[in-house]
Amino acid sequence: MTWNPIDEPIDQFTVGGHLTPGIGELAGPNSPRAWEEMVGPGLSGARVVFRGLRPSHFSLKFRLRTREEWSAWNTFSNVVKKPPYGKRPRAIDVVHPILASVGIRSVVIEDVIPPQQVEDGVWEAEVKVIEFRQPKPGHAAPEGSDDEPLDPVEQEIKRKRQEAADKHKRLAEP
């Protein structure tokens, strides 16, 4: 990431093509991974298997302090309002350097918490979102399978294991 928040502070971001109101804050964007831990009875440790990338759950928060910011919130709240009954909700684009650094470009709205007073003259609204990313198929052959792995990384691992086994066999010969 080439953006530097100390020299170039960005207090707003773009959601659904609209600039956010007030002072914006990102709370908890991340890049979670799914892992499965396979543990055997009476064994210490585990085999850990990567199961893919999981969507990020995070919040967009807005601090509102002026009439202009309240007016901007009233306009912006239409972007995150409930979809009409019978209509499918759609993902919306979101743009901010921190989100770009973890590959988040699109979100769906999980919850909207209307503005609440957090101190004298300061109100905070929160929009909880979930990263939207189309699922991609993942293919992995279990270890010991006779099938050729489809993943190029798995193919390389299989080739390296075979090379190591061949070298070990040559070293063991008289």
pTM of the predicted model over 0.95: no
* 40 and 81 belong to one structural domain: yes
Same domain, residue pair 77 and 60: yes
SS3 104: coil
How far is Cα 154 from Cα 146, in angstroms, rounded to an integer?
13
Contacting residues for 124 by C-beta, under 8 A, at least 6 apart: 61, 62, 63, 64, 115, 116, 118
User: How far apart, in whole angstroms, are the C-alpha atoms of residue 10 and residue 23?
Assistant: 9
Task: Answer yes or no: is 71 within a domain.
Answer: yes
Residues 121 and 147 in one domain: no
Q: In CATH, what number is assigned to the domain containing residue 124?
A: 2.40.30
Q: Are residues 96 and 79 in the same domain?
A: yes
User: pLDDT per residue over 23-43, tens digit each?
Assistant: 999 999 999 988 888 888 888
- Judge if 78 and 121 occupy the same domain: yes
pLDDT confidence bin for 141, thresholds 50/70/90 = very low
CA–CA–CA angle 8, 133, 128 (5° rounding): 60
Q: What is the pLDDT of residues 32-86, one digit of tens each?
A: 988 888 888 888 888 888 888 899 999 999 999 999 999 999 999 999 988 888 8
Q: What range defines the domain where residue 160 resides?
A: 141-174
Q: Is residue 66 part of a domain?
A: yes
CA pair distance 2, 23, nearest whole angstrom: 22
Does 46 reside within a domain? yes
41, part of any domain: yes
**Three-state helix/strand/coil letters over 156-167:** HHHHHHHHHHHH
Please tell me the total count of domains within the chain: 2
120 in the same domain as 104 = yes
Claim to verify: residue 111 and residue 151 sit in the same structural domain = no
Both 108 and 94 in one domain: the answer is yes
Q: Are residues 98 and 168 in the same domain?
A: no
- Residue 25 and residue 91 share a domain: yes
